[in-house]
């Protein structure tokens, strides 16, 4: 699945799933831009890891819940690399809370982070992808977007991620004629310690028929497929990286 010399922007790419996606795409020869909000130390560490793989990369500090700054981010990336081919919308804050106990500010923050950011960055990316008649947009959702799994305190987060799925499918229809695909990767919960594959294999959780929770590498593999040349005929699709949890 060669992607050599393509250019990718990964939002929230300094740590966690975003960082894992950046590393995986870098191994495929992709030039990488990561966007981060405030953790400069994590961003610099991510850059060092990417540079060790021999790829051209940059980190941009920004707040993509602001539409104007999202536009500036895309211009910065295109000024640096001359193009944009792949966009991974990975940013998405999480907060526990029922509808009754969540404040309006909580809801707005969750929707701004998980949904508005996808709208702002994707909208800014589209002209650059249309210019090249080629583009891959991969949005990170969550299995909670389709099933609550008995978790009674994720109403805002689940609603925002469900909206991301609906938005992605509509955008896939709108942009198919421009050579742009739009797909969704829904991970189930990943351990906050960012488990390695070996560590995860030692965990046995009855929720996962495969016998372990997903790792960042599992999620990144699905993103890499959607970003690939081989996925040209796949758009508007959801992949649940859940080890059978959705069955």
Max CA pair span of the chain: 50
Q: What pLDDT score does 153 carry?
A: 73
Task: Provide the CA 98 distance to its chain's centre, in angstroms.
Answer: 25
Gap between the Cα atoms of 181 and 49, Å rounded: 29
Which residue among 36, 120, 157, 233 is the active-site one?
A: 157
Helices 155-175 and 104-111, packing angle to 10 deg: 30
d(CA 221, CA 56): 21
- Do residues 44 and 15 touch, judged by C-beta distance below 8 A? no
CB atoms within 10 A of CB 214: 26
pTM for this prediction: 0.91
The CATH number that domain 7-241 falls under is 3.40.50.720
For residue 40, what is the enclosing H or E element? helix 40-51
| The token pair that represents 213 in the structure block | 């929770």
Beta-bridge partner residues of 140 = 185
E strand intervals along 156-203:
180-187
Q: Tens digit of pLDDT per residue, the chain (247 long)?
A: 568 889 999 999 999 999 999 999 999 999 999 999 999 999 999 999 999 999 999 999 999 999 999 999 999 999 999 999 999 999 888 777 788 888 999 989 999 999 999 999 999 999 999 999 999 999 999 886 676 554 567 788 889 999 999 999 999 999 999 999 999 999 886 554 444 555 555 554 556 778 777 889 999 999 999 999 999 999 999 999 988 876 7
- The question of whether 36 is a catalytic residue gets the answer no
What is the C-alpha separation between 162 and 184, in angstroms, rounded? Answer: 11
CA distance 243 to 168: 23
**Coil/strand/helix, residue 54:** coil
């Amino acid at each position: 699945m060669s992607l050599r010399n393509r250019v990718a922007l990964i939002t929230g790419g300094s740590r966690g799933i975003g960082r894992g996606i950046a590393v995986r795409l870098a191994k495929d020869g992709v030039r990488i831009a990561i966007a981060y909000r405030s953790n400069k130390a994590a961003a610099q560490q991510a850059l060092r890891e990417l540079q060790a793989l021999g790829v051209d990369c940059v980190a941009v500090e920004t707040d993509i819940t602001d539409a104007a700054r999202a536009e500036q981010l895309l211009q910065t990336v295109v000024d640096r690399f001359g193009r944009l081919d792949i966009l991974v919308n990975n940013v998405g804050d999480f907060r526990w809370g029922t509808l009754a106990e969540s404040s309006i500010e909580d809801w707005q923050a969750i929707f701004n982070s998980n949904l508005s950011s996808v709208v702002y960055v994707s909208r800014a990316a589209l002209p650059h992808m249309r210019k090249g008649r080629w583009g891959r947009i991969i949005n990170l959702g969550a299995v909670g977007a389709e099933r609550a799994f008995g978790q009674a305190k994720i109403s805002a987060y689940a609603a925002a991620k469900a909206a991301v799925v609906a938005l992605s499918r509509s955008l896939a229809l709108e942009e198919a004629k421009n050579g742009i695909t739009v797909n969704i990767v829904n991970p189930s919960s990943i351990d906050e310690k960012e488990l390695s594959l070996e560590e995860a294999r030692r965990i046995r959780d009855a929720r996962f028929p495969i016998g372990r929770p997903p790792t960042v590498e599992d999620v990144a593999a699905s993103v890499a497929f959607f970003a690939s040349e081989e996925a040209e005929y796949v758009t508007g699709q959801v992949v649940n990286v859940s080890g059978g949890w959705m069955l």
